[in-house]
Chains A and B, each alone.
Chain A
Amino acid sequence: MSANGGAPLLRCVELTRLFGQGARAVHAVDDVTLELRRGEIASVVGESGSGKSTLARLVLRLLEPTSGGLYFHGEDVTRLRGFARRKAYWTHVQAVFQDPFGSFNQFFPVRHVLRSALRLEDQHLSPQTREKRMASALESVGLDPGSVLDQLPHELSGGQRQRVMIARAVMVQPELLIADEPTTMIDASSRANILNVLLDLNRDRQLTILFITHDISLATYVSDTLFIMQAGKLVERGNVERVAHDPEHAYTRQLFADTFSLHGEAWRPAGGEGST
């Protein structure tokens, strides 16, 4: 709850993206208006095909919106012409994705991945500064730089790989981190560790995080604010405690009801307790 007042960090205004044309066009993101305040963690939750990843790609400026506007620090970033200007935007907005395998070049060690990310910011850093920045980024995600830097991707566990990707993203000191399903490929027992890394970065660096997930239990664990998305539209939004205790939209209630829980009565579609 570290959000302060003032101007929002990011504002999407009636953001829309169609795929295809004419009457058969798919409204992947449909008239989405939302605000992120500095220092908050907000989650976009929805089922497969709800448009949440398309929204993330629009905010990252990897996709052009069909209509609507995107404002970062109040500045219009909807139409950034040219690679150079988008690159400048990416020093402020970074992302981690679902598949930490796909994000690595398997032939190069971790050092290479991190070094190429630093180049985004400044081509002329001294080797010492570079090493120091890489080491502190790895430490901030709970990895030991001494052992990890020279390892190849396949020598790391899935959780370690995803931590390296988070380190890569925060190394350029962005203000906004977009985390698109960062824990789906990770073992259930180490998911909390990845989420705790995000929570710590938010607390220690005031990093604003937009978390994209289909799992509402993960979203309630990390978020201050929830945005519930269905078929391209935001159907419910609000403070996490309000949405969790008192969901207004039928779809939100459905999401909570369908999630498997360790509490309350068990579902048991195949009958009660087994043979004893």
Chain B
Amino acid sequence: MPELLVAENLQAYYRYGLNGWIRAVDGVSLSLGEGEILGVAGESGCGKSTLAQVLASVARWPLCPRGGSLHIDGHEVPLTATAEASHRGTVVSMMPQGAMNSLNPTQRVRDFVFDVVRSHDPSVTRRAAVQRARERLAQLHLPERVLDAYPHQLSGGMKQRVVAVISTLLNPRVLIADEPTSALDVSAQRALLALMAQLLVDGIIGGIILVTHELPILRNVAHRTMIMYAGQVSETGPTERVIFEPAHPYTRALMDATLVLESATKRQRIEGLEGSPPDLSRPPDGCRFHPRCPHASDACAEAFPPELRPGPDHTVACWWLAERLGAPRAESGARAVES
């Protein structure tokens, strides 16, 4: 199957003080197939939103992409946000998290829609641009009058859906959605995810990278899921496998901390994740999860864990698993030196 998007060894750091770097994305590789939804999950501060910004070419100082490559449809895509980034919106588009701040407060939604479409297609008529937006608004159960509204006249959930419509207006090949559902209630979440899936099934969008910390959402919509911890990938695989047979201790901890809808859960207490992710200006040596890991051994603190394949299309970076699978330690040599 042709790969739609391939990212290799991405590194993106935030400038911090005069000489400091916060390594928010540190050696992340991923691929996205045609027609696929890839879910990216992890705690706050694991680098998933930073990864989204780099993939969507919207990284701005102090976030500096420092290395790695990104190809979409076989073409190299620049990692930094440059003024002439003409691929933004059509090749790759970002559905941002903060819908509250993404709209122009002095413009009616319809004028903003027209500006967005015209900037990529100067020949478009106002009527055609607005018509396209109108159809998609209807799919999200939004009344047509939002087109005539200013952003302050819309509720948070309405704004989020307007932003969703605008970010898919140019039919991008790849849609990067960063926590698109966080401001929505359950019914609106379903409608938004259904719209995204519909655009994918109809071939209007080539593929979606969905960043969220809600594992139940990924379980229901993502084909494959990638778990990030402290700027690195700890586990990637088919969603059902990652969620129901997690191989990495961190994925397991995330699953155990997830509150799910079960009748009368009050009887069975769920403990959330204790502790917090490491300071990424001085990340720990070896596996970055080892200070919080219940299975940590000396090896974990020394070198970056090897990338293992416990199943088809399933990769896990973990020393504990390596020991159980009986993999030779030497395998990690290359990665360990690199990091």
Contacts and interface: CB of A to CB of B under 8 A. Distances in A.
A240 B208 CA distance: 37
18 contacts: A157-B44, A189-B43, A189-B253, A196-B271, A221-B259, A256-B261, A260-B186, A260-B216, A261-B216, A261-B260, A262-B216, A262-B260, A266-B219, A270-B221, A274-B33, A274-B239, A275-B1, A275-B224
A40 to B, nearest CB: 12
A259 B263 contact: no
B155 A187 contact: no
A263 B257 CA distance: 15
B324 interface: no
A255 interface: yes
Interface residues of A, number: 51
Contact of A189 (B1, B254, B263): B254
A261 B258 CA distance: 10
Given A48-B155, A217-B259, A273 B240 contact: yes
Interface of B: 1, 33, 35-37, 43-44, 155-157, 182, 184-190, 193-194, 196-198, 200-201, 208, 213-217, 219-224, 238-240, 243, 253-254, 257-266, 269-274, 276, 312-313
A17 to B, nearest CB: 18
A217 B221 contact: no
Contacts of A187: 43-44, 213
B272 A196 contact: yes
Contacts of A252: none
Contacts of B261: 216-217, 220, 256, 259, 261
Contacts of A254: 187
A109 B260 CA distance: 35
Q: 8 tightest CB-CB pairs across the interface, nearest first?
A: A274-B223, A269-B197, A193-B272, A192-B272, A260-B216, A270-B197, A217-B261, A244-B263
Contacts of B222: 274
A273 B215 contact: no
Given A189-B272, A269-B197, A259 B223 contact: no
A271 B254 CA distance: 25
Interface in A196-223: 196, 199, 214-218, 220-223
Interface string A221-256: 111100000000000000011001100000000111
A276 B312 contact: yes
B223 A273 contact: yes
A75 B11 CA distance: 63
B220 A271 contact: no
B185 A262 contact: no
A232 to B, nearest CB: 15
Interface in A155-211: 157-159, 184, 187-196, 199
B262 A263 contact: yes
Contacts of A258: 186-187, 189-190
A35 B208 CA distance: 47
A14 interface: no
Contacts of A270: 35, 37, 196-197, 200-201, 208, 221, 223
Contacts of A263: 260, 262
Contact of B264 (A157, A214, A244): A244
A269 B260 contact: no
B192 to A, nearest CB: 11
A268 interface: yes
B264 A220 contact: yes
A243 to B, nearest CB: 9
Given A259-B186, A271-B35, A274-B33, A221 B270 contact: yes
B33 A157 contact: no
A74 interface: no
A220 B239 CA distance: 26
A194 B197 CA distance: 33
B189 A260 contact: yes
Contacts of A194: 272
B33 A221 contact: no
A256 B276 CA distance: 32
Contacts of B271: 192-193, 196
A52 B93 CA distance: 35
A64 interface: no
B338 to A, nearest CB: 28
Contacts of A255: 186-187
B333 to A, nearest CB: 29
A53 to B, nearest CB: 12
A274 B188 CA distance: 25
Given A221-B265, A240-B264, A190 B259 contact: no
A254 B240 CA distance: 25
Contact of B219 (A193, A223, A259, A262): A262
Given A199-B269, A258-B187, 17 more contacts: A158-B44, A188-B215, A195-B259, A196-B272, A214-B186, A215-B186, A216-B186, A258-B190, A261-B260, A262-B216, A269-B197, A270-B201, A270-B208, A273-B239, A273-B240, A275-B313, A276-B312
A255 to B, nearest CB: 7
A262 B220 CA distance: 8
A49 B156 CA distance: 10
A47 interface: yes
Contacts of B36: 274-275
A255 B264 CA distance: 16
A107 interface: no
